């Protein structure tokens, strides 16, 4: 008898569980399926920049209070999970209205979901070349989210303490010499009083395929292709500047704490490089971009003010520039209803072109806009200001990695990891990268 009672209770619990589950998921998708019906227009945004999601949510709430007829839902999935989540989103019953894509390869894959934005007012204000990656047959399909730049971010205080004038570091050899000098001072212990945890000049996150296979590799490919669109059209990759790329990787690994056994770098990830490296003054230089500002200021607001960006040198080719480009674009889903599409476009226009929105973009989202009509708004973030300095001086190289075959960066990173571990020679790395590119283009 007792057993029966227990059995009944368990069964009841399980059934309740089943229905609870249904109800939860029902209400979630319910919000979306209502969109378009009635007076309320619902716009779903799906994006991949973790660092702006809070500020963007605040901006959305402000927009909603001014436009009572529009409800906007924001969902953020960061990192490499974004691409697979987006696929699921678009194939599901309730596709999103606004989403972000990376460049020519994405644009080609998602062609049937893309609403042309050519007629929008903001298009004429995009800075030169800002929309090249998302323009197909004269139609613009994406709105640049921000301009970003990466180079070798360094700690000004450490360089000053070591007596190195960073403004002279505009060539490969000068940087090599300065890093060697700094490393010898660290080893001699003369900086230990001021920077107790400082153990090496650099840290290189070889575990992250995007750092190796997209960013570092791009320095050489940008000179070979010139633009992402050219890279996208190319059936082959020549590695015209392959030797200079080797020099760059050597420069970035030669002064790390793993210099005696470079294979150790293969377990260094982004968190170790930024949060556990530059932010705690364990190292003085890392290859990163202005997007690390929020992460650094979480650890130390003061330190952020002392950071600057050194060029990322391609020996004998371009030695005094940083890599600047647009990493992601806002796209509008062409399969949404007219009302939803209009609302989505209106929101993007408000965010990037109204006076209110411009202020939010610069000060709250901490982005460098890719538009020419932002006069009079000062950029407060020190790293973004550094990127602006290089842009104003014309010392930039383009981003071409969004034209690479998708997934190729993982192969490049794997090959470079094998090079660092000593199981592949540099010639083998280059040969393998080339044949992987060709194989991926053929499929």
Partner 1 sequence: MRRKQTGFWLFILPALFAFVLVVLVPAVKGFYYSFTDWNGIGKNAVFVGISNYGKLLSDSRFWNSFLFTFVFAICSVICINAVGFGLAVLVTNKIKGANLARTVFFMPNLIGGILLGFTWQFIFVSIFEAIGKNTGMIWLQGWLSDQKTGFIGMLIVLTWQLAGYMMIIYIAQLESIPESYLEAAKIDGATAFQTFLKIKLPLVAPAFTIGLFLSISDSFKMFDQNLSLTAGGPANSTEMIALNIYNTAFKESKLGQAQAKAVVFLIVVVVISVTQLILSKRKEVEM
Interface residues toward partner 1, by CB under 8 A: 18, 80, 83-84, 87, 90-91, 109-112, 206-207, 258, 261, 263-267, 272, 276, 405-407, 410, 413-415, 417-418, 420-421, 423-424, 440, 443
Nearer Cβ to partner 1, position 316 or 422? 422
Nearer Cβ to partner 1, position 74 or 421? 421
Nearest distance from C-beta of residue 112 to partner 1, angstroms? 6
Nearest distance from C-beta of residue 406 to partner 1, angstroms? 5
Nearer Cβ to partner 1, position 217 or 417? 417
Nearer Cβ to partner 1, position 103 or 149? 103
Nearer Cβ to partner 1, position 240 or 272? 272
What 3 state SS string does the chain have?
A: CHHHHHHHHHHHHHHHHHHHHHHHHHHHHHHHHCCCCCCCEEEEEEECCHHHHHHHHHHHHHHHHHCCCEEEEEEECCCCHHHHHHHHHHHCCCCCCEEEECCHHHHHHCHHHECCCCCCHHHHHECCCCCHHHEECCEECCEECCEEEEEEEEEHHHHHHCCCCHHHCCCHHHHHHHHHHHHHHHHHCCCCCCCCCCCEEEECCCCCHHHHHHHHHHHHHHHHHCCHHHHHHCCCCCCCCHHHHHHHHHHHHHCECCCCCHHHHHHCCHHHHHHHHHCCCCEEEEEEEHHHHHHHHHHCHHHHHCEEEECCCECCCECCCEEEEECCEEEEECCCCHHHHHHHHHHHHHHHHCHHHHHHHHHHCCCECCECCCCCCCCCCHHHHHHHHHHHHCCEEECCHHHCCCCHHHHHHHHHHHHHHCCCCHHHHHHHHHHHHHHHHHC
Nearest distance from C-beta of residue 418 to partner 1, angstroms? 4
Nearest distance from C-beta of residue 442 to partner 1, angstroms? 11
Nearer Cβ to partner 1, position 184 or 267? 267
Nearest distance from C-beta of residue 87 to partner 1, angstroms? 5
Nearest distance from C-beta of residue 141 to partner 1, angstroms? 15
Nearest distance from C-beta of residue 84 to partner 1, angstroms? 4
Nearer Cβ to partner 1, position 109 or 354? 109
């Amino acid at each position: 008898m007792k057993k029966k009672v227990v059995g009944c209770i368990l069964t009841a619990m399980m059934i309740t569980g089943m229905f609870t589950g249904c109800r939860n998921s029902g209400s979630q998708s319910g919000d979306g399926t209502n969109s378009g019906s009635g007076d309320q227009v619902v716009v779903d945004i799906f994006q991949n920049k973790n660092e702006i999601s809070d500020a963007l949510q605040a901006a959305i709430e402000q927009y909603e209070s001014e436009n009572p007829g529009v409800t906007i839902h924001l969902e953020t999935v960061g990192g490499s999970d974004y691409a697979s989540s987006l696929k699921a989103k678009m194939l599901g019953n309730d596709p999103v209205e606004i989403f972000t894509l990376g460049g020519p390869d994405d644009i080609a894959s998602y062609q049937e979901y893309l609403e042309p934005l050519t007629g929008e007012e903001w298009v004429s204000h995009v800075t030169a070349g800002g929309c090249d990656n998302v323009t197909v047959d004269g139609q613009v399909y994406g709105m640049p989210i921000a301009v970003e730049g990466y180079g070798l971010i360094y700690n000004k205080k450490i360089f000053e303490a070591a007596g190195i004038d960073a403004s002279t570091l505009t060539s490969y050899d000068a940087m090599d010499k300065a890093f060697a000098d700094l490393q010898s001072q660290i080893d001699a212990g003369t900086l230990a009083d001021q920077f107790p945890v400082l153990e090496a000049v650099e840290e290189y996150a070889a575990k992250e395929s995007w750092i190796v296979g997209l960013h570092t590799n791009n320095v050489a490919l940008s000179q070979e292709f010139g633009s992402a669109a050219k890279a996208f059209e190319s059936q082959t990759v020549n590695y015209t500047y392959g030797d200079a790329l080797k020099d760059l990787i050597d420069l970035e690994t030669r002064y790390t704490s793993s210099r005696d056994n470079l294979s150790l770098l293969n377990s260094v990830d982004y968190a170790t490089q930024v949060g556990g490296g530059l932010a705690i003054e364990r190292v003085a230089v890392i290859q990163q971009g202005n997007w690390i500002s929020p992460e650094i200021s979480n650890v130390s607001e003061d330190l952020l003010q002392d950071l600057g960006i050194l060029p990322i040198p391609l020996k004998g080719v371009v030695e005094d520039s940083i890599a600047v480009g647009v990493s992601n674009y806002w796209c509008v889903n062409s399969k949404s209803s007219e009302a939803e599409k209009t609302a989505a476009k209106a929101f993007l226009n408000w965010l990037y072109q109204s006076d209110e929105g411009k202020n939010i973009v610069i000060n709250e989202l901490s982005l460098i806009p890719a538009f020419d009509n932002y006069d009079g708004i000062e950029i407060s973030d020190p790293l973004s200001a550094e990127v602006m300095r290089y842009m104003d001086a014309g010392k930039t190289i383009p981003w071409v990695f969004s034209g690479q075959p998708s997934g190729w960066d993982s192969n490049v990173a794997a090959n470079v990891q094998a090079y660092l571990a000593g199981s592949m020679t540099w010639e083998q790395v280059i040969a393998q990268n080339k044949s992987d590119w060709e194989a991926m283009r053929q499929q």
